[in-house]
Amino acid sequence: MCGSGNFRLLGQRLNRSQGFRPKQASGISVSVKQCRDCDLIFSDPQPIPENLSDHYDLPPEEYWKGLPAWSQDYFAREIETAKRLLDFRPGMTALDIGAGVGLAMQSLSAAGFDTWGLEPAEPFYEHIVRSVDPSRIALTTLEDASYGEASFDFITFGAVLEHLYDPAAALESALRWLKPNGLIQAEVPSSDYLVARLVNLFFRLRGTSYVTHLSPMHPPFHLFEFGLESFRKNGLLAGYSIAEHHYDVCTIPHFPKLLHAPLRWWMDRKKSGMQLTVYLRRLAD
């Protein structure tokens, strides 16, 4: 993301759920590292499947452990923020990269955007076309997608960048498709997540070098965690600025419910929740 080669080793990650006693589990592990300059967390080496279907060729109901029904509240906060930052006019164009089962596309269309999408996984694509005009959604990878330069006012990566093998290249492609002063929205796992740091400390106290970051070889196949600095420094290279950002606590796994309230208060206060959402504005030419 920032072009630096200044990394530190955080520990090891298994190709399966580790539980709280990873030393008693068997499997293949990879090193997990963090960039000292932009806080990006990644595995090294990066395990890459022979085919995308090795990861995502399964019913969306199974991948997400059940599917929510669409409602106008879905993606509402993100759309409200995008409209404010864009000075929205009806008919502005939007592209949903990694459209999943099409819920964000439906919300964007209902909010007045001229909406398009791409989805690389065939099982998800087949679900999308039940509720979205098939001419509006492309079954393709981002790398193989072809859109005209400066075609869109708003592009969203909803829980997508952490799955891609080169997120910086993905942002470069999206910026070419984005109009000057247009917006990219991305929600990603935060590399400063308090629960991850506490679980890592627990592992250290038990005398193991394992860490809880990422899941590069098992669902949900997260390859990266991002810091705000990851986007600040990448923006200097790629030609965008951070227009707005926020953190969300999301779920609090591994801890008894009695501790959820104080942990949530602390993560809200210290901006150390699970999810980072950024709005990136393409700089004018």
**What was the pLDDT predicted at 53?**
60
Burial (CB count within 10 angstroms: exposed 0-12, middle 13-18, buried 19+), residue 193: buried
Q: What percent of the chain has pLDDT over 90?
A: 77
**What was the pLDDT predicted at 139?**
94
What's the one-letter identity of residue 227?
G
Where is average pLDDT lowest: 13-27, 40-54, 100-114, 181-195?
40-54
Give the CATH architecture of domain 7-282. Answer: 3-Layer(aba) Sandwich (3.40)
Confidence of residue 64 (pLDDT cuts 50, 70, 90): low
Confidence of residue 172 (pLDDT cuts 50, 70, 90): very high
Tell me what the mean pLDDT of segment 167-173 comes to. 97
Higher pLDDT, 7 or 70: 7
The rounded distance, in Å, linking the Cα atoms of 191 and 211 is 12
Q: What percent of the chain has pLDDT over 70?
A: 94
- Count other C-beta atoms under 10 Å from residue 1's C-beta: 26
Coil/strand/helix, residue 158? strand
Higher pLDDT, 266 or 24: 266
**What was the pLDDT predicted at 17?**
87
Contact between residue 226 and residue 1 where contact means Cβ atoms under 8 Å apart: yes
Confidence of residue 176 (pLDDT cuts 50, 70, 90): very high
Tell me what the mean pLDDT of segment 215-226 comes to. 92
**What was the pLDDT predicted at 26?**
87
Contact between residue 158 and residue 187 where contact means Cβ atoms under 8 Å apart: yes
Contacts of 208 (CB under 8 A, 6+ apart): 22, 23
**What was the pLDDT predicted at 267?**
97
The rounded distance, in Å, linking the Cα atoms of 40 and 171 is 15
Higher pLDDT, 41 or 22: 41
Closest CA to 165 of 252, 68, 85, 45: 45
Tell me what the mean pLDDT of segment 154-174 comes to. 95
Confidence of residue 156 (pLDDT cuts 50, 70, 90): very high
Tell me what the mean pLDDT of segment 33-37 comes to. 98
**What was the pLDDT predicted at 114?**
98
The rounded distance, in Å, linking the Cα atoms of 34 and 197 is 13
Chain segment 116-136, per-residue pLDDT in tens: 999 998 888 988 898 899 999
**What was the pLDDT predicted at 107?**
96
Closest CA to 230 of 102, 42, 77, 16: 42
pLDDT at 58 over 80: no
What's the one-letter identity of residue 43?
S
**What was the pLDDT predicted at 234?**
98
Tell me what the mean pLDDT of segment 72-93 comes to. 96
- The overall average pLDDT reported for the chain is 92
**What was the pLDDT predicted at 59?**
67
Higher pLDDT, 28 or 51: 28
Reported in sequence order, the residue ranges of 25-105 that DSSP labels E, i.e. its strands, are 29-35, 41-44, 93-97
